[in-house]
């Protein structure tokens, strides 16, 4: 686990975890990733990482408000 945490730090990624026993902490992001998987990942095969990144970018443009995309871009949480 320490190697994983070190890699996160190297890439300036903030690790976020729920509080123990509180499943609602991540409800919104869990829902987002559920939709992302069912609407994008499971519907097609990607030829390359570049193809995936292009499709992901298009998905986010259509499904995320501009302020969310902006936050994701600059916090390093998710946006590619």
Q: pLDDT tens for residues 39-70?
A: 898 988 999 999 999 998 888 888 776 655 55
User: Is residue 4 in some structural domain?
Assistant: no
User: Is residue 76 in some structural domain?
Assistant: yes
> Whole domain around residue 68: which residue ranges?
46-80
What total number of domains does the chain contain? 1
User: Is residue 53 in some structural domain?
Assistant: yes
- Residue 11: pLDDT band (50, 70, 90) is confident
User: Is residue 18 in some structural domain?
Assistant: no
Residue 48: HSE in the Cβ half-sphere, 13 Å Cα cutoff: 3
pTM above 0.85, yes or no: no
User: Is residue 10 in some structural domain?
Assistant: no
Q: Give the residue-averaged pLDDT of 21-36.
A: 78
């Amino acid at each position: 686990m320490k190697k994983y945490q070190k890699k996160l730090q190297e890439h300036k990624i903030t690790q976020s975890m729920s509080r123990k026993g509180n499943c609602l902490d991540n409800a919104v992001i869990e829902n987002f990733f559920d939709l992302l998987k069912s609407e994008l990942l499971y519907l097609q095969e990607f030829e390359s990482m570049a193809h995936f990144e292009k499709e992901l970018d298009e998905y986010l443009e259509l499904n995320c408000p501009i302020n969310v995309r902006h936050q994701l871009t600059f916090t390093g949480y998710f946006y590619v």
